[in-house]
Structure 1
């Protein structure tokens, strides 16, 4: 009926009131997210909304199919439900259901962040978590609020041997990437900032006069 590109473009158009919708590969298809909060998936040319309380009654009443993927040869049901032709034909309803899915995903993310430790983020193990705590970064939210560059500068102040890989690791942890998978434009911007930070640090270390 539709190909994935058309489904994504149609979703972005109809759901534009939710905000800018970013697309990434996920679950053998594509995830749709607003401000890094995933609320829907496009797989095999179909759109699926993330399960939430606001969607539950509709799913039960209409017997909406659930997203099934194959994992190690076994079918696995995910908490995403198909957008049927009936829903596609009612753009207002689709937008409303998607808004509920997004709000539910945001709430779940906030709950998870309250429980999540720094070491649970990509690239951050127990050692780096300990170092961050020593410079006043003790929660996932405080890491996000401070940003990778500020955190790196704090760490650098107590560890002069700190290198650019730690900066990549911090940015990846915040963005949800393994540091090797950071987008090239982000990597280049961080490299330029890193070189400038080193130069400024070297100048400030020189004795005056």
Structure 2
């Protein structure tokens, strides 16, 4: 298991207004959950927030990059986007974007329940 970083601990504290935040070690990084909704990935001290068709354009417009990795020699991307740079130094912006990611996670959960 990968050791928790100061950055991860800082994020958990900053994101606490969303609700109970749980970090789960996964794939060499961390998955962040709020109320059991998987809404963020932390990899190499970079926060990636869940995006969907409702929120993806806002992340792209803010200059965010998707989470990517290589599998079987081919680049893969997931629908998780970096926190916009402007939100790194502003707690209220961080929470605003985190709520966007949390909203996408809740919509994904609701869609699974309907299926």
TM-score over 0.5 (shorter chain): yes
Q: Does 1:101 align with 2:91?
A: no
Cα pair 2:55 2:104 within 8 Å, conserved = no
The structure whose residues are more often helix, as a share, is: 1
TM-aligned CA distance change 1:101 to 1:15, over 3 Å: same
Determine which structure has greater relative contact order: mean sequence separation of CA pairs < 8 Å that are 6+ residues apart, divided by chain length. 2
Q: 1 CA distance for matches of 2:64 and 2:92?
A: 18
Cα pair 1:48 1:80 within 8 Å, conserved = yes
Cα pair 2:21 2:34 within 8 Å, conserved = yes
TM-aligned CA distance change 1:59 to 1:103, over 3 Å: closer
TM-aligned CA distance change 1:23 to 1:52, over 3 Å: same
- 1:82-119: CA deviation from partner (whole Å, max 9, x where unpaired): 1244211111011011112112211211211222xxxx
For structure 2, which runs of at least 5 residues remain unmatched after alignment? none
TM-score (norm 1): 0.50
Aligned residues: CA RMSD: 1.9
Deviation at residue 39 of structure 1 after TM alignment: 0.4
Deviation at residue 41 of structure 1 after TM alignment: 0.4
Query: 2:69 maps to what in 1?
Result: 69
Please give the secondary structure, in 1, of the residue aligned with 2:58: helix
Deviation at residue 52 of structure 1 after TM alignment: 3.5
Cα pair 2:62 2:84 within 8 Å, conserved = no
Q: Does 1:35 align with 2:35?
A: yes
For structure 1, which runs of at least 5 residues remain unmatched after alignment? 116-209
Cα pair 1:54 1:100 within 8 Å, conserved = no
TM-aligned CA distance change 1:60 to 1:85, over 3 Å: closer
